[in-house]
Amino acid sequence: MPIFGTDGVRGLANGPLTADLALSLAQATAVVLGQGRTADARRAAGKRLTAVVARDPRVSGEFLTAAVSAGLASSGVDVLDAGVLPTPAAAFLIADTDAAFGVMVSASHNPAPDNGIKIFARGGVKLPDVVEQRIEAAMDGPKLQPTGGGVGRIRRFADAEDRYIVHLLGSLPHRLEGLHVVLDCAHGAASGVSPETFSDAGATVTVIGADPDGLNINDGVGSTHLDALRAEVVRLGADLGIAHDGDADRCLAVDADGTVVDGDQIMAILAVAMKQRGHLAQDTLVATVMSNLGLHRAMAEHGIRVEQTAVGDRYVLERMNAGGYSLGGEQSGHVIMSEYATTGDGLLTGLHLAAEMAHRKATLAELASVMTVYPQVLVNVKDVDRSRVGDPVVAQAVVDAERALGESGRVLLRASGTEALVRVMVEAASEDDARSHADALASVVAERLAL
C-alpha cells in the first residue's frame, strides 16, 4: 500500500509513522532528489547538498525530525535545522537558500498524536506523484553511505524566522496601522512568527492559541475551531480575527461581528484587489470544485475567469503552475499567491487581507460583501460502492436536481478517495432547498450504490 497520501506521509506517530520510517524516507529522498545536473555540479566542486528541515511543535516532531536529519546527514546531505516554523516558511527558505530540497514534519490540522512528513523539491515546490513513487521505491534500494568528510552536518538555521518575516513584510502593498487584529495560532507553528509579523506590519495584535506544549496543537483552537476567535474579536471590539491551522498553511478570518469569512470569500477579496492593481495573471482565479457558486458569480461580475480543479491544494498548484496564474486556493483557507509563495501560506494570506482593509479603509464585512455565499449542504453517504458513482439512475437524479435548481444552484457528487462513501453537495438559493435536494440525492445514492 502506498505510504504517500494527498499531502506527504501522514499517520499516528509511533504507530505507522515511526522513527525507522522517517529515517528510511529521508535516505530515499536523498537518493532521488540528490540527482541531476545541479547536484552533480556541486559534488564535482567538492560541495555537499543542503536540505532545510522544519517542524510544527507537536511532541513527536522532536524524534521524527531527529530521524529525518540523521537520514539526510548519513546520506551526505547538510541539514539546516529551522526548528518550529510554518510549512510555507520551510518552502520559502528552501528557495531562499537554494537548498536541494527540504522536509517539513507536520500533520497540519490533525490532532497532536498524528504527524506527517512533507517533502519539497528545489525551489520549495511540492513533489509530483511520480517523484513520490520514485522515493517510495528507493526506500527498498541501496542507500548513500559516505564516510569521513563526506557525511552531512546538522546546523541550526539561526536566522530562519527573521528571513521569513522580512519576506512577508516585503510583500505587503500597504501597512496595517489602525487595525486591531486577533490572531489564533492553533497552538501551532505560527505561535511565534505570526504575532511578530503582524505587529511589525503596524497592527495592534491580540493573540490566542499561542502557547504550544507539544500536545495541545489544534485542540479547540485554530481554523477548524473558530468559536474562541469569534468570541474574542467581539469581546474586544477588534477589526478582524485571523485563524491559522497547526502548520499555518491556511487562513480563515472573522469580521468585527464574529461572522466567519472563509477561503472562497478571502479569494474573492484578493482577486478583485489584484485585478485592480494589474497583478491577477490573465484575470484568472484557480479554485476547486467545492468552491461556492457565489464565488463564480462574483468573479464573473468583475470580469475574472475561474478555473476549477479537483479538491486538494496540490491540484490547485499544478493548474496555477501550468497556466502561469497568480492566485488560487480552497474554501478551507489554503490560498496560494504565487508571486510570493510556492504553497498555501496562512500568514501571507492574512496579512494581505488585512492590508486590503487598511488600504480601502473598509471593514472586513464590507469587503466580503463582494460575494454572496450560497447555502451549501454536504451529505456523506457511507457504506456504498464509490466506484459506481456513475450509475445511470444516480446520474439522472443529479440531472433532475440541477434542472429544478436552475441557475440558482448546483450539484456535485464526489467519490471519496479513501473511504467507502460518496459526498453529495448541493448549493441553492435557500438552506431548505439545498437540504431537500441533498437528502433526496443521498437517498438515491444509498439505495443504488449500497454494498
Any idea what the CATH number is for the domain that residue 392 is in?
3.30.310.50
The answer to whether residues 214 and 357 belong to one domain is: yes
Instruction: Give the C-alpha separation, 80 to 97, whole Å.
Output: 10
What average pLDDT does the segment 275-304 reach? 96
Query: What pLDDT is recorded for position 5?
Result: 84
- Asked if the model's pLDDT at residue 18 lies above 90, the reply is yes
Query: What pLDDT is recorded for position 414?
Result: 87
The answer to whether residues 31 and 140 belong to one domain is: yes
The answer to whether residues 380 and 357 belong to one domain is: no
The answer to whether residues 189 and 306 belong to one domain is: yes
- Asked if the model's pLDDT at residue 36 lies above 80, the reply is no
The answer to whether residues 341 and 326 belong to one domain is: yes
Determine which one of 24, 75, 106, 108 is catalytic. 108
Give the CA-trace dihedral at 54, 58, 62, 64, to 10 degrees.
Answer: -80
Confirm whether 108 is a catalytic residue.
yes
The answer to whether residues 328 and 422 belong to one domain is: no
Q: Which of 368, 384, 411 is the last residue of a domain?
A: 368
What average pLDDT does the segment 20-49 reach? 83
The answer to whether residues 12 and 94 belong to one domain is: yes
pLDDT in tens, 40-95: 666 656 679 999 999 999 999 999 999 999 999 999 999 999 999 999 999 999 99
What average pLDDT does the segment 336-357 reach? 97
The answer to whether residues 342 and 410 belong to one domain is: no
The answer to whether residues 320 and 416 belong to one domain is: no
The answer to whether residues 90 and 42 belong to one domain is: yes
Number of domains in the chain: 3
What average pLDDT does the segment 93-118 reach? 97
Q: Which of 302, 336, 368 is the last residue of a domain?
A: 368
The three cell numbers locating residue 423? 459526498
Where in the sequence is the domain holding 322, given as residue range(s)? 163-368
The answer to whether residues 329 and 307 belong to one domain is: yes
- The domain that holds 270 is classified in CATH as 3.40.120.10
pTM value is 0.92
What mean pLDDT value characterizes the chain? 94
Q: Which of 93, 123, 158 is the last residue of a domain?
A: 158
The answer to whether residues 215 and 323 belong to one domain is: yes
What average pLDDT does the segment 216-242 reach? 97
